[in-house]
Structure 1
């Protein structure tokens, strides 16, 4: 498979902080792995299934599939059918996660878990989350049709997590956090915008919705050996490097806040400007302040020579986003009484992220006092930066390099293929691997996406890149879990 012919933009020169490579190992065996490199399953069928899943939506004319929504339930039945087609034993746990597992007879080894999430953002693309689920099912289906599934040396399980995005309840990783055993019992009382709680939704879908039931979802660390996730990159690096796959060195830490600004509701035409306590203007100032804080932290933060917290390298990857803003009563001729907005802060360095969160929270109170409005900052989610396991990452690097090399035609003149080093990236986006890292060692494969666009209907992965991802995952499982004859 030839890499994209797009030109290498100058911005690649700025990516050196985030990009490293693992040296090429000479003498790597490049077994082709079957007729057509299993194209019919790993590419053609996988792409068709991604399109089918992309049509299962709660929205009209756009893709939306949130935690245990009607579309999510329909998608569950489809995914269960695909897992059974791959020869897996299936079940759905008490948080709506879908499991498909092959258990070798008499095996006492720890399981390899492979997964991603089935939920989406609003107006989503069809690859985020779904790509990792369907690629994993396809890889195991190849093992089934080739007779290798019965030669697994330890259990292999595909998990389609019920919620990663946190759209409905503003709390991420409901599915994977439950499996990892880090989901608090209080989650049952968290409500969505309509006032419906997690407990309500679970009961509506015939789940027990009790603390004891959540405890049953948890896996013991003694039963799990590793977790691997395939995911589209959601960024432009692989496309800029003209390479279809990459492996992940680590995932940025993330904090989500909700800022509540209370003022005095009033008539838009009768309250003089100097007498207003307008929460909209205060919120607007805070949003702009957040942007300034994250664009130029040195203006707000003091560099500490001893800890070296705020070097240029430590600030790499710092991003802050206000993605949602709600007003009440939201009428054009009314001064709002309350404005709420969300804040998403991410950084590779946890000290930087925590310092930004503390600084912004302090600034919120100062600015609100200045404007005579009342403010509160609620912490909705916090996750530390997550390093990927070095040994697993090296194994995935070998598998991805082998897959890409096998799909690339030999050089003219009969020369032998030489695999290029697989890019190793940092992830600015959160993934289920962050929650699963609390249970076991984790690793990830990134897949090139067009323009680096994600969380959008324009999200796109080339069919051959889907193929490469499936082949890489197949080779990883084959090389690490399948017994030799």
Structure 2
């Protein structure tokens, strides 16, 4: 259990953690906004700083084959299993300070707080080098390498400047031929615990500092194309038209209504209209669909049903509809026992019943679920804003999250 003396210092530790988040935000490729991508000088500088903070917390440090930064609180037995804590250190373009980074800093500070305690297992902190996919458009590179699912084909992917991931690794000081070779083994790993900002409005709406994550929604992304027939805007009667934009508009309205009906989320985030002239009937519209559900079976069923409705709209309007699946990630449920352990920690710290809620966004826990049981805790963020400079958390909520993670680690049941 956390001692009374350690609780007295929680406020100071939370304040220091907020200051560290400010420092990390300075490692950016731009002086006017926070952007830190994989295998860049800013990645190196941020991880060098994290390594110093890990060492100050009494941890042994190293960098792995994919560029992830590690710190370990070792057990007396070198062959003991490992509990892994962490999140990611990379950011999107023009990011906020806390997405990913907060979870890394909380893990380090937790082990600094528990420095004198002895555990029968190793406790590792990891700063995953790439979760966002900002540079190579390939997400979860760091955690995939740890979980044993790094794909060698990623090494040939090029960034916007034509630099391959393999070349970037060499320039960073890594050997691309060894990427993922030091993946962890399931039999040596107890669990993966991640604290992350909610990236949604639920906790703020319910005036709660933290919540227990039940799972991470599965997602599918599609590129759709609706083809019709171009014509003069003034000479073709409406009843004779095959307007691709009107068809796409009906489809987009259908997508929103379908999501409401089935209590899922579906988003059209991009739409391009061709030929794009004010006096020409559009004959080609391309739009994206992002559809998500915490239930994988529901995701599959809803995707099939939704496209059946969209195809019907196309048929009724005498249009052609084509679509391509660009991306998919499976739904991952957080381990039930870990959820209950998190709930107990939250109730101990806050003296309130824990709030359970799903994650609609992806996290490193998605990849780590291939390796071990995963459990997550959400921290309230202002207005649910993330991936934006306005992303904000309070020191008071960070203090609660720190106490919860410390409680979770000290009470962790290695035999769960």
After TM superposition, the score normalised by the length of structure 1 is 0.73
| Residue 197 (str. 1) matches residue 197 (str. 2) | no
SS of the residue corresponding to residue 34 of structure 1 reads helix
Aligned mates of 1:330, 1:68 — CA distance in 2:
39
User: Would you say 1:117 and 2:88 are equivalent positions?
Assistant: yes
1:403 aligned onto 2:349:
yes
8 Å Cα contact 2:314-2:321 kept in structure 1:
no
> Could you tell me how far apart the structure 1 residues matched to 2:146 and 2:274 are?
38
Aligned partners of 1:117 and 1:432 also within 8 Å? yes
Q: Does 1:32 align with 2:4?
A: yes
Distance across 1 between alignment mates of 2:304 and 2:255: 12
Q: 1:295 aligns with which of 243, 257, 271?
A: 257
Question: Compared with structure 1, are the counterparts of its residues 361 and 94 closer, same or farther at alpha carbon in structure 2 (3 Å cutoff)?
Answer: farther
Is 1:434 the equivalent of 2:366? yes
CA distance in 2, matches of 1:35, 1:67: 36
User: Are residues 209 and 37 of structure 1, via their aligned partners in 2, closer, same or farther at CA, if it must alter by over 3 Å?
Assistant: same
Aligned to 2:240: none
What SS is found at the alignment partner of 2:179?
helix
Relative to 1, partners in 2 of residues 1:387 and 1:372: Cα closer, same or farther, differing over 3 Å? closer
CA–CA distance in structure 2, aligned partners of residues 348 and 463 of structure 1: 30
Match of 2:335 in 1: 389
Q: How does 1:78-89 map to 2 (within 5 A)?
A: 78-89=49-60
Which residue of 122, 129, 140 maps to 1:162?
A: 129
Q: Would the alpha carbon gap of residues 30 and 114 (structure 1) be closer, same or farther in structure 2, given more than 3 Å must change?
A: closer
**Are the aligned partners of 1:260 and 1:376 in contact in 2 as well (CA < 8 Å)?**
yes
- Are residues 354 and 88 of structure 1, via their aligned partners in 2, closer, same or farther at CA, if it must alter by over 3 Å? same
The within-5 A match list for 1:255-404 is 255-259=220-224, 282=244, 286=248, 289-290=251-252, 292-296=254-258, 315-316=262-263, 318-323=264-269, 342-358=288-304, 363=310, 367=314, 377-380=324-327, 382-404=328-350
Query: 384, 389, 406: which is aligned to 1:457?
Result: 389
Alignment of 1:7-86 (within 5 A): 31-34=3-6, 36-41=8-13, 43-86=14-57
Q: Tell me the SS of whatever aligns to 2:339.
A: helix
Q: Please state if 1:475 is matched with 2:404.
A: no
Query: Structure 1 residues 64 and 403, CA, compared in 2 at 3 Å: closer, same or farther?
Result: same
1:134 shift after superposition: 0.3
Instruction: Tell me, yes or no, if the aligned pair for 1:139 and 1:473 is still in contact at 8 Å.
Output: yes
Could you state the TM-score of these two structures normalised by the residue count of structure 2? 0.85
What runs of 5+ residues in structure 1 fail to find an aligned partner? 1-28, 276-280, 299-311, 405-418
Native 8 Å contact 2:227 2:319 kept in 1: no
* 1:342–1:285 CA distance, 2 compared to 1 (3 A): same
Q: Label 1:370 to 1:333 Cα distance change in 2 as closer, same or farther (>3 A).
A: closer
Cα distance change of structure 1 residues 60 and 37 upon mapping to structure 2, 3 Å threshold? closer
Q: Is the alpha carbon distance of 1:297 and 1:469 closer, same or farther for their aligned partners in structure 2, counting shifts above 3 Å?
A: closer
Q: Which residue of 2 aligns with 1:235?
A: 200
Q: CA deviation at 1:358?
A: 4.1
Stretch deviating more after TM superposition (233-242 or 282-291): 282-291
How far apart are residue 372 of structure 1 and its match?
8.0
Task: State the shift of 1:191 in Å.
Answer: 3.0
Superposed, which structure 2 residues align to 1:99-248 within 5 Å?
A: 99-144=70-115, 147-148=116-117, 151-210=118-177, 213-248=178-213
